[in-house]
Amino acid sequence: MSNNLDILAITESWLTGDHRDDHAIADLTSTLPDYNLHHIPRKNRAGGGVCVCLRKSFKINMSTIKEYDSFQYIDLAITSRCQTPLRLIVLYRPQKTECKQNTAPIFFREFPSFFEEIATTRNNLLITGDFNFHVNDPADREASLFLDLIDSAGLKQFVTVPTHIKGNTLDLIITRSTDNFVSNVSATNFLPSDHAAVLCSLDIVRPETTKMEIRIRKLRDIDLNTFRNDILQSSLYTSPSPDLDKLIAQYENVLLKLKDKHAPLITRTVKCRPNAPWYNEQLRDLKQKLRRLERRWLSSKLEIDKQCFKELSNQYHEMINQAKLDYHKMQFENCNSKQLFQQVEKLSKPKTSKVLPSEIPNDPLVERFSSFFAEKIQRIKANLEESPPSHLSVQTSYSCTSTLSELAMVSEESVKEIIMKSPSSSCTLDPIPTWLLKNV
């Protein structure tokens, strides 16, 4: 968020492809509502996993993923405003296989065939990720073989700064030698990870800000006295229908018209923005101080500056975790039971859009839902009739002498009292919200 990124590539996501991912994905989608997450999990083994988080206004096409023994990857074609797509490949090579074998020899056999498949693409090609080769060390044989391999394939590598806590360059940005759309490559070390974040600029068209249409009514701004007077002057009071069904229709029509009059429907277009209400001024000031210490350490290369930077970095991330904890704790303390369930669902489940079949009009779809449940009840009844339960004998130790022979009439005041004491929950089918109904 602070770097205003359009694309974020992540290796070692630890996503597994099952329900254990829900909390992490829910946290991301709640904090970054204008971003989509695409990921390839690492199943049946801890660690690993690659993912890309990018703005919703990008058009994305994910290519079919093949299985390789030495590395994981995700392959996305990213298009922005009708420009030539960017083919982004995020790759992670673990140092060891499941059998504790070194993956480097296998990688040198697999990567050339992998590159042959993607080399023919006409798109801008960008390969990035954690390759786990110490390309900064000329004496490292595996790193030298890797650099020779990408050079023979017509590729070039941009990262020249340390990307690991031990001073090695493991996280790379690779393009074709003939391409020239990557610039401003840098790395920042203030993350809690043992790897740095590698930043760069891409010479492609930036996507438009994600926008969405919302429809609102300013119900809270309604003048209640005027609303009451309009109800009293309406046909609902001056000429109510004697027929119950017609009276219900009259009630709904009158209130709907009055709602449109006093709080007309307004359509607005809003921009989706990141949402981190727990991020406060204290964290922002500490982060600026952290950046200054990082620049001092990178400039001086002194161990004392490195230690000061690491200590403040740990303090910063502890404060972030505490700020999030305090914020969510306050949210839970100040909410009712309904809001509590909403908060828990927001934090534990990713957002999903409710999708209905697009090829079926609404009216036939409603009939299909109705028929489904009606037929389901009939099937249950038929199954019960086919297998009647065995005779049951219930022993009771008491007898009831009271009988219910008639229902007593209730007064309007009694009905009103029950309505006013009931919860103010509403349904979209209600002509006006229940809280407004009670007030008028």
Domains of the chain with bracketed CATH: 7-202 (3.60.10.10), 281-348 (no CATH)
What is the predicted pLDDT for the residue at 158? 95
Task: List the Cα angle 380/384/387 in 5-degree steps.
Answer: 140
Cβ neighbours for 188, distance < 8 A, ≥ 6 positions apart: 196, 197, 199, 294
- Distance in angstroms (rounded) separating the CA atoms of residues 327 and 135: 43
* Residues 16 and 23: beta-carbon distance below 8 Å: no
Question: What DSSP character marks residue 66?
Answer: P
Residue with token string 């001056």: 238
Non-local (6+) Cβ contacts of 274 within 8 A are 1, 31, 32, 33, 34
Residue 216, beta-bridge partner list: 266
162 and 138 Cβ atoms separated by less than 8 Å: no
The per-residue pLDDT string of the chain (440 residues; one tens digit each, 9 = 90 and over) reads: 878 899 999 999 999 888 888 888 888 888 888 899 999 998 877 788 999 999 988 999 998 888 898 999 999 999 887 777 899 999 999 988 877 888 999 999 999 999 988 888 888 899 999 999 999 999 999 999 999 999 999 999 999 999 998 889 999 999 999 989 999 999 987 777 889 999 999 998 888 878 888 889 999 999 999 999 999 999 999 999 999 999 999 999 999 999 999 999 999 988 888 888 888 889 989 988 988 998 898 889 888 988 898 899 889 989 999 998 998 888 888 788 778 888 888 888 777 666 666 666 777 888 888 999 999 999 998 888 877 666 667 666 777 788 888 898 999 999 999 989 988 888 888 999 999 999 99
User: How many residues appear in the chain?
Assistant: 440
How large is the C-alpha radius of gyration of the chain?
32
DSSP 143-201: HHHHHHHHHHTTEEE---S--BTTS---EEEEEETT---EEEEEEE--SSSSBPEEEEE
The pLDDT value recorded for residue 260 is 94
Q: Residue 85, CB half-sphere, CA atoms under 13 Å: how many?
A: 17
Strands (E) across 264-406 are located at 266-271
Distance CA 217, CA 221 (A): 9
Residue located via tokens 């979209």: 428
Answer for the pair 88, 9: CB distance below 8 angstroms, yes or no. yes
Residue 260 sits at φ, ψ, to 5 deg, of -65, -30
Rounded to an integer, what distance in angstroms lies between the CA atom of residue 139 and that of residue 128?
Answer: 23
CB atoms within 10 A of CB 431: 15
Nearest CA-CA partner of 273 in 214, 321, 212:
212
Backbone phi, psi, residue 199, to 5°: -110, 145
- The token pair at 354 is 């409710």
> Helix 281-300 crosses helix 303-333 at what angle (to 10 degrees)?
160
Q: How many CB atoms lie within 10 A of CB 224?
A: 11
CA dihedral angle for residue 260, residue 261, residue 263, residue 267, rounded to 10 degrees: 60
| Residue 129 burial (C-beta neighbours within 10 Å; 0-12, 13-18, 19+) | buried
pLDDT at 44: 73
Percent composition of the chain: helix, strand, coil (DSSP 3-state, to 5): 40, 20, 40
Question: In angstroms, how far is CA 105 from the centroid of its own chain?
Answer: 38
Residue 369 identity (one-letter amino acid): F
CB atoms within 10 A of CB 253: 14
In this structure, what token pair is assigned to residue 265? 């429907």
